Amino acid sequence: MFFNISNKKSLIPALIGAGLSLFFIKSGFLSLLFLVPLGFLGYRYDYKTAWTAFFFAVLGNIILALGLFSSADTGTSGVVWEILYFTLMTGIFTWIVSPPPESAKLPLSVRLVGGSCLGALLITVIFIRIISSTDFLRYLDSVLNSFVDMQSSSNVVQNALLESITAEAVLETIIAVTVRGGSLVSCFLLFALSRQMSFGFARLFLIKKTKGALGTPGSVQDGSLLKSSLALFHVIPSMIWVFSASLLLVVLMRMINLVIPEIILWNILILCVILYLAQGLGIMQFFLMRPSTPPFMGLLAIVLFFILLFSPVLNLALLGGLTVLGIAENWVPFRMPKNGPPSTPEAGGGI
């Protein structure tokens, strides 16, 4: 039984977490934070509290959606998709951070990747449904016309290029990017960042540490500090063959114009890139967490990282470099301890 409604100590935090999740999803500006309260409960308390909050959040969202449907001119289809999106995304995320005992044996990385694939499938279906409507096409056309009017100048070539951009062409490009890994990347980032924020808040507010506080039985010992496992994250060595094969096959499918296999291979390739990027970030974190690293160097590296991350062109070089670093660890053990063998993939929940 996931839910823990009979426990009053868990019921109050669950109700507060569910309320915060609903507030964030309906706030607009803070809507991307709607998963964080559920993750916080899983890390701060236990999986039963998190699943109880999930139950109340889903119930509250259904009531709000039906209330909006009865008081406004909202289509039935839109309400159903709204309920489906909130239910599945919160359910997947709760399973990732606070799995029940029978699923806790799966490494976090496996749950994160599997949940991201399921979420990406849902986002793709919803997104294609929205952008395929005639209303969206008219809206996109009006936005493009306004953009062309703002950017128009005396340069004849520039004006000709701007006028050649049509709403249909932009729409095709958006769909192509979405089905070729765009939705997978966005979903993975949403889950990963929400997980990290939940983990960080749990570290700040955790007062009494108990076994199972991280959603995995025995993962926290009394008196120990909670640490991020990204520095211990490893991709299994055989994944390099999946990455290489998918890269070559994408080019081949593109040449012979097989669309469906190309889309599938693109998603596999993007998934491999995400994993190696995570491994590159883990290498960077490993070196920053070493006792021999001066604290100011770690702070400087973090500040520099975020400056580069939000700098056009430089952010692509940064992310590409970290991905290459993660791939290179297949041959160079960067995280080899000075007095012992390198950390194993199992230690960091590798995949």
Residue 210 and residue 228: Cα distance in Å, rounded? Answer: 17
Q: What are the C-alpha distances in Å from 285 to residues 195, 202, 226, 228?
A: 17, 20, 15, 9
Look-up: residue for tokens 């490893």?
234
Q: Which amino acid is at 62?
A: I
Element (H, E) at 80: helix 76-97
**Is the pLDDT score of 123 beyond 60?**
yes
Q: Which two tokens stand for residue 269?
A: 């390739």
Nearest to 216 by CA among 306, 348, 326, 18: 348
- The CA radius of gyration of the chain, in Å to the nearest whole number, is 23
Query: 52-69 burial string, b = 16+ CB within 10 Å, else e?
Result: bbbbbbbebbeebbeeeb
Task: Supply the pLDDT for residue 55.
Answer: 95
**265 neighbors 253 (Cβ within 8 angstroms):** yes
Residue 300 and residue 304: Cα distance in Å, rounded? Answer: 6
**207 neighbors 41 (Cβ within 8 angstroms):** no
How do residues 163-197 score in pLDDT, each as one tens digit? 667 767 777 888 888 888 889 988 988 998 898 88
How do residues 81-108 score in pLDDT, each as one tens digit? 889 999 999 999 999 998 888 877 888 7
Contacts for 62 with CB less than 8 Å, ≥ 6 apart: 83
Work out the pLDDT band at 148, boundaries 50, 70, 90: low
Question: How does the average pLDDT of the chain come out, rounded?
Answer: 79
Residue 197 and residue 144: Cα distance in Å, rounded? Answer: 36
Residue 186 and residue 99: Cα distance in Å, rounded? Answer: 22
How do residues 214-234 score in pLDDT, each as one tens digit? 444 333 333 333 444 567 778
In a 13 Å sphere around the CA of 338, the CA atoms on its Cβ side amount to 4
Task: Supply the pLDDT for residue 340.
Answer: 52
Taking the alpha carbons at both ends of the chain, their separation in whole angstroms is 29
Domains of the chain: 1-223 (1.10.1760), 227-351 (no CATH)
Rounded average pLDDT over 32-56: 91
Q: Which amino acid is at 42?
A: G
